[in-house]
Chains A and B, each alone.
Chain A
Amino acid sequence: DVVMTQSPLSLSVTLGQPASISCRSSQSLVYSDGNTYLNWFQQRPGQSPRRLIYKVSNRDSGVPDRFSGSGSGTDFTLRISRVEAEDVGVYYCFQGTRWPPTFGQGTKVEIK
């Protein structure tokens, strides 16, 4: 199975400051069709997961532009340019390129 390793596992950020989460996969996530099926999900306390980013860097509808995704191959990053109170929660990277699909352990973001 592809192992997704996130760092850090916990992040305490001052409001208005940037935040960055790293995600590394144990195998390349480039699929045979040329796409890289790496998504990012946000799970706010008590809520269901919500997809923020798909295929590395595509922001979902309604997702604030302070969220951005980047990376390639086995190395990916989710950035929040200016953290807001509503960004508190757990963030998961996820690979859908290889079966079985796998998630990272999650990164808990809190406000300092």
Chain B
Amino acid sequence: EVQLVESGGDLVQPGGSLRLSCAASGFTFSDYWMSWVRQAPGKGLEWVATINQDESVKSYVDSVKGRFTISRDNAKNSLYLQMSSLRVEDTAKYYCSRGSSWSASDWGQGTLVAVSS
């Protein structure tokens, strides 16, 4: 069974940094693209970033480009999202998803990031 467990969400001040993690199990992690998707409270879904199997391809939506960095550790079956220069509008639940934008077949339960002074 595919399992994706996000962690690292917290309350942070505007301008601050945070690192999210996603622990994957139930599949061969190194075989898959992986992605982050977010959902602001009471709002719809927004794609954030995608990474390929060997980290040679990383893509970001414009709203996070230059502030967020997606990475992975295949030895640890883990996906990461380093977030810096956080803004109030980054407040959301962040989901880890298996696959690129072509698939997004499985999702974790999400981790909550709140940016507020």
Contact = CB atoms under 8 A, between A and B. Distances in A.
A75 B100 CA distance: 22
Nearest to A99: B59
B111 to A, nearest CB: 11
B104 A102 contact: no
Interface residues of A, number: 22
A48 B77 CA distance: 21
A99 B105 contact: no
Interface stretch (B12-20, B41-49, B83-91): B41-49
A8 B110 CA distance: 27
CB-CB nearest 4 A-B residue pairs: A96-B101, A101-B101, A101-B47, A103-B45
20 contacts: A35-B102, A39-B103, A39-B104, A41-B104, A48-B95, A48-B107, A48-B108, A49-B95, A51-B104, A54-B103, A54-B105, A92-B44, A94-B104, A96-B100, A96-B102, A99-B59, A100-B59, A100-B61, A103-B47, A104-B44
